[in-house]
């Protein structure tokens, strides 16, 4: 009986003990799980923050921008979109890379952080959200700013605020800021279109004196045309779409006003667009570095044509060929030109290479060295568009040039007495330096008479001839000289 009673007590004790163990274990597991859940929540929050906020500036990042913009856009019904009013300001700091290269990455990062703090303190509000887009690019989204005047005022406010950092000595590095602006829904129907439109507007700032641009449809059409031309330009040489036209140069020292030579000018006969202006495609060729290949084609074509004229006519016809600044960055250019001259057996003294002052100012190349190489090969050198840049006569004395071409902007102002004095001095000083002088843009008999009076050597212009295809030019030569 006693044993049975003790066994019962023992069993009850064991049950209580088990319950206590389970209870304590439960409490322990509860707190352990709670602690781990808190850690998991903290880690999740950390991951979410890393995914949506920039670690340097603590601003919402590109991902947040796209998500917020899509939410904002979707909050408008299709009917309400026409009355929607918000704008996207794309802020691009142009010169941070220079600071990183000069003073180190930490200096640039410090400056970006300072600008972020400044923008947040001055523009973050109920009507404006600020984002970091890339390392040196910010985006501000403004509500209730849609008319152009409000956008301009806001852009000027931002620019003045950033410039104030420099003026008050809060930054020791001047900030070159561009702002591109797009509007919803006129500039785009989704986040990507709005941001791309604002970036495109910023890339068009060089077209104006302002430091901001508001997107318009023409910017898109111009960009589309640019990219299409750049694509087509890559295959234009192989498809033989280029042609050389020749504009005669007239010797006005003789009473007969005889043709002394020609300037070779490239033309692009696009398969669908027809003739594309050189002012349009040469710029694209230079920006895409296709100018070297195109330049080589021009030189070979000109040499081939000169070789033909040497065999066809018994009079000397010189050819001028333009060299772009990028071509003069090519240290092997002179060697290739020499090889081509040997291939076509041309008389090198009949070839003149024309350069602009931009080529002389280009720091990427040893331009004068290359020009001297060409001079040593018996080619002539002409400085084109003289008077619109920065060249002085003291600088000219150090250049291996033979000819000075007075820009047509001077010729258009011959009625201005001060301009006349300047042209007279240019011609007189050039002759004292043994330079031949050519006047460009002669379009009237009065201009011709004036240049004769000032003892200019040669002229070019529509008064005599516009640029001509080779067959038309040869008809003129054969009619007038044979």
Q: pLDDT in tens for each of the 482 residues of the chain?
A: 544 555 566 566 566 666 766 766 767 666 666 666 666 555 555 656 667 888 889 999 999 999 999 998 888 766 666 666 799 999 999 888 777 777 787 888 888 999 999 999 999 888 899 999 988 999 999 987 678 898 999 999 999 999 888 878 777 778 889 999 999 988 988 999 999 999 999 998 875 567 899 999 999 999 999 999 999 999 998 899 999 999 999 999 866 788 999 999 999 999 999 998 898 899 899 988 899 999 999 999 999 999 999 999 888 899 999 999 889 888 899 999 999 999 999 999 999 999 987 777 665 557 888 999 999 999 999 998 876 665 566 667 778 999 999 888 888 888 888 888 888 988 999 999 999 999 999 999 999 999 999 999 999 999 999 999 999 999 999 888 76
One fold for both 62-215 and 239-481? Answer: no
Give the Cβ contact number of residue 183 at 10 Å. Answer: 23
What digits encode the pLDDT tens for the residues 38-84? 665 555 556 566 678 888 899 999 999 999 999 988 887 666 666 66
133: left (phi over 0), alpha (psi -120 to 50) or beta: alpha
Q: What is the pLDDT of residue 46?
A: 60
> In terms of Cα–Cα distance, which of 442, 471, 468, 472 is closest to 454?
442
Extents of the domains making up the chain: 62-215, 239-481
- How far apart CA 154 and CA 161 sit, in angstroms, is 11
What digits encode the pLDDT tens for the residues 139-156? 999 987 678 898 999 999
Longest dimension (CA), the chain: 153
Global confidence as pTM? 0.76
Give the Cβ contact number of residue 12 at 10 Å. Answer: 10
Burial of 102 (0-12, 13-18, 19+ CB in 10 A): exposed
Q: Which CATH number fits domain 239-481: 3.20.20.450, 3.60.20.10, 3.40.50.880, 3.20.20.140?
A: 3.20.20.450
Q: Determine phi and psi for 371, rounding to 5 degrees.
A: -65, -40
- How far apart CA 448 and CA 463 sit, in angstroms, is 8
Burial 33-59 (b: 16+ CB within 10 A, else e): eeeeeeeeeeeeeeeeeeeebbeebeb
Report, at the CATH architecture level, how domain 62-215 is classified: 2-Layer Sandwich (3.30)
What digits encode the pLDDT tens for the residues 190-243? 999 999 999 999 998 875 567 899 999 999 999 999 999 999 999 998 899 999
Q: What is the pLDDT of residue 3?
A: 46
Task: Report whether 172 contacts 151 (CB < 8 A).
Answer: no
């Amino acid at each position: 009986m006693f044993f049975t009673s003790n066994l019962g007590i023992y069993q009850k004790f064991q049950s209580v003990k088990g319950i206590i163990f389970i209870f304590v274990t439960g409490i322990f597991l509860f707190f352990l799980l709670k602690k781990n859940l808190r850690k998991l929540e903290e880690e999740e929050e950390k991951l979410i923050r890393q995914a949506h906020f920039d670690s340097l500036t603590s601003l919402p990042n590109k991902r947040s921008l796209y998500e917020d913009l899509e939410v904002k856009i979707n909050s408008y019904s299709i009917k309400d979109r026409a009355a929607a009013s918000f704008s996207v300001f794309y802020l691009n700091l142009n010169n941070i890379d220079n600071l990183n290269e000069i003073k180190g990455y930490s200096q640039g990062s410090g400056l970006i952080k300072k600008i972020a703090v400044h923008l947040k303190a001055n523009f973050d509000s109920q009507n404006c959200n600020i984002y970091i887009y890339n390392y040196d690019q910010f985006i501000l989204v403004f509500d209730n700013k849609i008319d152009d005047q409000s956008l301009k005022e806001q852009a000027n406010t931002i620019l003045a605020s950033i410039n104030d950092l420099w003026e008050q000595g809060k930054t020791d590095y001047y900030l070159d800021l561009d702002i591109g602006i797009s509007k919803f829904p006129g500039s785009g129907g989704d986040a990507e279109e709005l941001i791309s439109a604002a970036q495109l507007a910023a890339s068009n700032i060089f077209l104006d004196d302002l430091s901001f641009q508001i997107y318009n449809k023409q910017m898109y059409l111009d960009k589309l045309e640019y990219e299409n031309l750049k694509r087509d330009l890559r295959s234009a040489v192989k498809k033989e779409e280029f042609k050389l036209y020749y504009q005669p140069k007239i010797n006005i020292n003789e009473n007969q006003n005889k043709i002394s030579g020609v300037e070779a000018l490239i033309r692009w006969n696009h398969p669908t667009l027809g003739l594309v202006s050189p002012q349009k495609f040469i710029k694209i060729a230079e920006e895409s570095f296709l100018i070297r290949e195109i330049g080589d084609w021009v030189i070979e074509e000109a040499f081939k044509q000169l070789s033909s004229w040497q065999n066809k006519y018994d009079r000397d016809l010189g050819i001028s060929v333009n060299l772009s600044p990028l071509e003069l960055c090519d240290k092997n250019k002179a060697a290739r030109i020499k090889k081509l001259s040997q291939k076509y057996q041309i008389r090198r003294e009949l070839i003149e290479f024309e350069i602009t002052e931009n080529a002389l100012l280009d720091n990427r190349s040893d331009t004068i060295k290359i020009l001297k190489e060409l001079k040593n090969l018996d080619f002539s050198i002409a400085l084109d568009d003289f008077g619109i840049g920065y060249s002085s006569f003291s600088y000219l004395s150090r250049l291996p040039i033979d000819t000075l071409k007075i820009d047509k902007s001077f010729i258009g102002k011959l009625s201005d007495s001060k301009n006349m004095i300047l042209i007279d001095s240019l011609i007189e000083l050039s002759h004292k330096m043994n330079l031949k002088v050519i006047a460009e843009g002669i379009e009237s008999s009065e201009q011709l008479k004036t240049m004769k009076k000032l003892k200019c050597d040669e002229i070019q212009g529509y008064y005599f001839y516009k640029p001509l295809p080779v067959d038309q030019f040869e008809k003129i030569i054969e009619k007038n000289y044979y």
